A and B are shown apart, each in its own frame.
Chain A
Amino acid sequence: MIEFRGVHKTYDNGTKALKDVNINIDKGEFVFIVGASGAGKSTFLKLIMREEVPNAGEVIVNGYKLSKLKRREIPYLRRTMGIVFQDFRLIPTMTVFDNVAFAMRVTGASKREVRKRVPYILGLVGLQNKARNFPQELSGGEQQRVSLARALVNNPSLIIADEPTGNIDPEMSYEIMELLTEINRRGTTILVVTHEHDLVQAFSRRVIVIDDGTVVSDVAGTAEPPAASAPSAGNAVVADVLDTIQDVPTEKESDTVDAVLADIIGRNGGDEQ
């Protein structure tokens, strides 16, 4: 479904954001993307959305080489994906209902469809009572859930979430991840960028680690296909790979994956301040 072939991305100011990235994500996968601040995670997502174009290499989404995509075809590419933005990106002059409905309306959905579908999706993310509110009247977590609802509303075949749980308390974070898991179970491909090692831990999915523009680790999850698999086995594999990541201090508590992840993610969190 998503393929990166020898992708390099250097921004105009000379920043090398991605270096020779080769990745293959299949339809129906659930992938966590982790890495330090500035590692290139958002750049990775932008290339998939065709908000940026690579300097070298090829990005292929749904079988389409994005370099061959015409300008006017870009909106149609984006409609196949639901995107949850780290900073929500809600239209301030529209109500919660209209923000979510907008994603449907751009596809030419009828009034009836909109009126049926939007309340249902708002219910899924627990915002059925906030439909008439404006974004600035909501808490950060609520806004994030509106962003999630908008990403879900068109039933996209791919969901991209940049820090979807950044502003949400742990309990709600789990609920949202459960929701994404449920959606994934129905065949939707899901990409989640996160700093929360607890989540990565708890869901035992494929984890791609990006460090300084390079994919340094790509470990398959154990929870696929979703089953009550023993997390410890998967964790051991992850820990193994993580051990090999440079800069990761291996001397302290590196025998548990929790600790390694905590270390990486803790460090990343620090960088972001």
Chain B
Amino acid sequence: MKFSSIGYLIKEGFRSIKQNGFMSVASILVLVSCLLLSGAAYLVFVNVEAGFDYAYDQNKAIVWAVETADDQALNVLENNLRGMNNVQDVFFRSKEDTLANYAGVVGDATFESLQGEDNPMLDGFEVTFKDLALFDETIQLIESLENVDDISYAEDVADTLVVIRQTVLTIAAWIILMLLLVSLFIISNTIKLTVYSRRLEIGIMKSVGATKMFIRFPFMVEGMVLGFAAGLLSFGVLYFVYTYLISSLSLGFITLANLSTIGMLGMPVWAELLVCFLLIGTLTGMLGSRHAIGRYLKEESGVNID
């Protein structure tokens, strides 16, 4: 295939789209529905992620000082805590604060008698961490510090969050993968229908000496253009539906992320989604049509002379 043919072959691809108007629309719609479902699955995933990030942000440990620790010892402990690599912030929580906190929750009366010398609470430090992945190590380090009585932290919550997050990620990935395979299959079959009706045409092309690539190229252009259009359309629909949901529905406790944050691929989520849709659409369209015409290209004789 010569370079000079490419312009002609691309034009042929567009001509074919017009020629098979109904099938073109059908292919786009099939691909759009698959992309929308995949995209929705992804957005659910992103939201769950955002929710977890929020939960993680809340995650911190309280380091209780031993009862005998005096102000001097408490200062040393605070400085030691601040000096640790993974520690974001340290707040002092006096035993009076802690008691007042409980009192606030349970009811003042019960705690009246425990004020002052009788206060059973301990002084402590609220410590927030920079990196949750280093949680266990950091806790161990803190335990080895002097004057530390105990550390309270929601270990189970952190672990559960990690498990749930992993599960959601896996499920979302599978859903997306399945939908992509389904769309590849349906696209291929939709194009097969148009190709089937054009097998005579393909046979004629072969009989006048067209190479496989020459016959295939316009079909692939057709698939790519349809796929690109489907990607664009899907993105538009998803974007407007999502922003509509965020802005005009009050969803109560459900927090829909306003997706200006950074997504999986290190791009803002919407940009990432657009790029993915266009790539997936274009690739699916191209591979789908390539697969669809493969059989007719293989047939030894496309044309019967009689």
Contact = CB atoms under 8 A, between A and B. Distances in A.
B209 A46 contact: no
Nearest to A78: B209
Contacts of A77: 209
A72 B1 CA distance: 12
A253 interface: no
A107 interface: yes
B23 interface: no
Interface string A53-72: 10000000000000000001
Interface in A94-123: 102-103, 105-111
A89 interface: yes
A78 B208 contact: yes
Contacts, number: 79
Contacts of B8: 105, 111
Interface string B287-306: 00000000000001101111
A75 interface: yes
A8 interface: no
Contacts of A205: none
Interface residues of B, number: 26
A106 B201 contact: no
A85 B200 CA distance: 13
Contacts of A273: none
A92 to B, nearest CB: 8
A83 B207 contact: yes
Contact of B210 (A46, A53, A85, A106): A106
A78 B302 CA distance: 13
A51 B211 contact: no
B204 A91 contact: yes
B19 to A, nearest CB: 6
B206 interface: yes
B217 to A, nearest CB: 11
A235 interface: no
Given A46-B301, A75-B206, A89-B303, A106 B19 contact: no
B211 A72 contact: yes
A214 B119 CA distance: 118
Contact of B303 (A51, A75, A105): A51
A33 interface: no
Contact of B209 (A75, A92, A111): A75
Interface string A233-264: 00000000000000000000000000000000
B212 interface: yes
Contacts of B211: 72, 75, 106
Contacts of B203: 89
A132 to B, nearest CB: 15
Contacts of A89: 203-204, 207, 303
Contacts of A109: 4
B305 A105 contact: no
A48 to B, nearest CB: 11
A109 B15 CA distance: 20
B5 A108 contact: yes
A45 B305 contact: yes
Nearest to A99: B204
Nearest to A87: B306
Contacts of B15: 93
B208 A102 contact: yes
B275 interface: no
A49 interface: yes
Interface string B110-130: 000000000000000000000
Nearest to B7: A111
Contacts of B2: 108
A42 B260 CA distance: 68
A111 B8 CA distance: 9
Given A46-B301, A93-B19, A103 B306 contact: no
Contacts of B208: 78-79, 83, 102-103, 106, 150
B201 A46 contact: no
B259 to A, nearest CB: 44
A103 to B, nearest CB: 5
Interface in A18-74: 42, 45-46, 49, 51-53, 72
A170 to B, nearest CB: 23
10 contacts: A42-B306, A46-B305, A51-B300, A75-B209, A78-B207, A79-B209, A89-B203, A102-B208, A105-B8, A106-B211
Interface of B: 1-2, 4-5, 7-8, 15, 19, 201, 203-212, 214, 300-301, 303-306
Q: Which 9 A-B pairs have the closest CB atoms?
A: A108-B2, A51-B301, A79-B209, A78-B209, A106-B210, A103-B208, A75-B209, A75-B211, A42-B305
